[in-house]
Each structure stands twice: as structure tokens, then as C-alpha cells.
Amino acid sequence: MNPFALVAFLVLLVLYVLRELRAYRALGEFGGPATASFSRLWLGKAIYSGKMNLHFGRVNEQYGDTARIGPRLLLTRDPALIRKMNAVRSPYTRAEWYNSLRLHPTRDNIVSFRDETIHNKLRTQMSHGYSGKENMYLEHDIDERLLQVLGLIRSKYVSTDTEYRPMDLARVTTFFTLDVISTIAFGKSFGFLVTDEDPFDYLKQLHVFLPAIMLFSVFPDVQKIMRLPLIQRLAPQATDVTGLGKIMGFARDVVGERFGVDKVVRKDMLGSFITHGLSREQLESETITQITAGSDSTATSIRMTLFLITSNASIYSTLMNELTTAHEENRLTRPILRDTESRTLPYLQACIREGLRIYPPVTGLLAKEVPPQGDVIDGRFVPGGTSIGWNSWGIMRLKRVFGQDVDVFRPERWLPGGGQSKEQIDNMEEVVMLAFGYGRFGCLGKPVALMELNKTIAEVSLPSFSLILRYQDN
């Protein structure tokens, strides 16, 4: 080997070792798995175990509210630290973890942009569409899709004395949220509920795609490789006839209808985005994010909350009593109760809050980066550039916030007389709503997701199904 090249190699090797040693020592005051101080192997294993939430929960239980899970990566379940990092004027920024959320092969989106100026501008442009202020069809569109769910159940999944007709709740709720987000965003449904099928294997591909995203989030070098032109040509394309590429093609086509001579004008989410200045290219990227991120997380919350309610006879009975009493007293609009009505039903709201707590829909790290000057966390200095991820599973099981029985689905904890004071309930509410993020990184889709939960949990649980379905016949 050339002597000069050898010297250069040795210098680079020494610099690398010194950098890694500095990183190792910088977070030495934080406990964590032994291998986490010098590699991401523990984190990769935890994610691919299928039990990432449990691994994360045990780490914070064993090593404290903020623990080390990588050479330059901390994991926290401290609500105060989460709020601090996400506050409007916080110097913290999105860490490289967010690079993995660029779903379009060549364009970033509101979730993956790390440039604060671009991200803040996009939030301002898109907030009106998500809030419903400029989407006059929002609640009506959700109602229409929910009626389709009920119609599908009646026509295909109601067992008889001679025939047992099981229904895959996970599949149907995913079809529902996919059709909801496509309808409220574009004014055009995918049609999953009409056919009760996934004709272009979107869900099948998503089950492969999402684990890949998790891989990219853990190993930043893989993210860089995936952005190489050759690799991007292998990524889903809008011309594909199946999977995410089909969704991309759908987004391209519906966005294209809003431009040109004979453009479609509609006061929906997409129309609001156009009004506030998003370009055609931006809209295609953002719509893909809406579909993949918005549908899966909401479907998870709906199916898990319904499962937890219906698997406990006492809880189910209590909720039924509240809903039937409200129905008999004409406090619920038929055929689908209004969002404002659902918010007046305390036990229903308690069930929804408890469902979000027991099974938070987003368990990814959502890591933020410590500002260049560093910060002090729990009396310990953390150098700039360190990433701090959140442990949503651990946050929602803090005994000092929710009580000792944190692993039990108990909606009563949210009600006066359920063992918590008003101050404690208010604190619980603030913490559980962290499931939707906080501050400048809060989820824009929160109003839509809560509206879907408010309506779906009630209507799929109501014993007055027959009244709703008879309405459909008329």
C-alpha cells in the first residue's frame, strides 16, 4: 500500500475511534442495554422482535425515565421532556430518524422535512384543511363511509341460525379509514368498502413496506443508500398496478383533476391545500403521506378500542347503557350521531381515552435532536446532536400519572369517583393527548382521527344497529 494512503487510512481510523469514544463517554451517565453504548444492534433487534413496545417499556422501567438505546440515542418517557422538545419555540429539531418517512421516492413531505422553515410553512398551509374549517363535507363524508361499514356488516357478516359468518375487524376498519381519508382528502373514495376487497394488494405491500421504514429509521446509512438514483428506480412508481405505486397513481390522477382548463373545484381538504399555495408536486407527495400514515394509525386505535370494550362484559354493558339511554332521550342524531353529541357522552369518551392509553397508535421513536449547545436533562449534560426518541408505550403506563393499575383497561379512571382527583384527570388528559404529538410537531390529522373514533366506537357498539340499517334501506 502507498505509504501516504496508509497514513491517511490510519489517521481516519484514529479519528473514527476518537469520535466513537467521545460519543460513548458523552452519554455515559445514562443507563441502558450494554451494547447500546457502542452500536444500534440492540435497537434493531428490539424493533424486529415484533415487541418493540415491550422492550422500550422495560428499558425505561430499569434505567429511568430517560435511558440510552444507541451510541447517540436516548429514549424518554418523561412527558415534560416531550413537551419541552416539541414546544413552539424549542431549539430542538427533527433528528435523522425522520428521513425514513419520505414515502415518495423523490420528494419529502410534511412529516419527513427536517428544515424547520419549510416544515413550519407547510403546517400553516395545511392546517386549515385538516381542521375542517375549509372542508364543508368533512363530517358528512365520514358519516357516509360509516354507513357503508354498517351496510357491509349487515349484508355479509351477520350470522344466522344455520350459518356462522366471522368478520375480520382489523381488515374492515382499515378499509374504513382508507376510504375515509381518500374521500375527505380528494372527494373520491378508493372503494375498499364497496368491494370488501384490496384489489391492488395495498395492505399486503404495506406489511412489507412499514418494516422497511423501521429499518431505515434505525440505520441512517441505509437511508442514504435508498436515495441513490439506481435504488429509487426500484421503488414504487405511479405507473404500478398494485401496492403503494397504485396509491401514488391515484394521488397523481386526483391531483391532476384540480389543475388545467377543466379543473375540478371542491371545498375539501385538497381544495384547501391548493387555496393556500401548495404546488402540484407537493400535493402528490402529501396525499401519499395522508393515506399511509392517517389511515393505519386511526384504524389501529379503532380496532384496539373496540376489542378492549367488547372483551369486557362489564365495560361493554356500561357503554351500552349510556348509548341506549342517550338514544331513548333523543340526544343522538340518527342515522349517525354527530361528533358534538359524542363528546357529551362521558363513558364513551373515557373508553376512547383509555383505548389511546392502553394501545397508543404510534410507537416509532419520533426522535428530536438536541441543539448544538447541548442541554441538561435530569441534571445530566447531553451534547448537541444527540437524538432523543419518545417511548409512547412507557408514557401511557406511568403509574405516577395513571395510577397503579396501568396495564388494566379501566375507563372509570377517567371519571369523577374513579379513583382520581380532577387535577389528576386533567393531567391524564394532557399526557394521553401526547399520542397525537405536541406543539409544532403535533399531528394535523388529530381532529379527523378523533371524529372517526367518536363516531365509529359508538355506532359499531350500539345495539340499535337495526334502526340504522333500516334507515339505509329507505
- Residues placed in the known binding site: 443
**Which amino acid does the sequence have at 276?**
H
Cell of 425: 384527570
The Cα–Cα gap between 443 and 452 comes to 15
b or e along 411-422 (b: 16 or more beta carbons within 10 Å of the residue's beta carbon)? bbbbeeeeebee
Cell of 226: 435508498
**C-alpha closest to that of 176 among 196, 205, 199:** 196
Bridge partners, residue 416, by sequence: none
Strands 380-382, 375-377: pairing kind? antiparallel
**Cell 407537493 belongs to residue:** 282
Q: What is the CA radius of gyration of the chain?
A: 24
**Cell 359499531 belongs to residue:** 460
At residue 38, φ and ψ (nearest 5 deg) are -130, 0
Residues with Cβ within 8 Å of 18's Cβ and at least 6 positions away in sequence, in order, are none
- Residues making up the annotated binding site for heme are 443
* Helices then strands, each counted (H, E), the chain: 23, 7
The Cα–Cα gap between 220 and 99 comes to 8
CA angle 294, 298, 302 (to 5 degrees): 165
Residue 141 burial by Cβ neighbours in a 10 Å radius (0-12, 13-18, 19+): buried
At residue 90, φ and ψ (nearest 5 deg) are -70, 140
Element (H, E) at 246: helix 243-256
**Which amino acid does the sequence have at 42?**
W
The Cα–Cα gap between 189 and 110 comes to 23
The Cα–Cα gap between 353 and 348 comes to 9
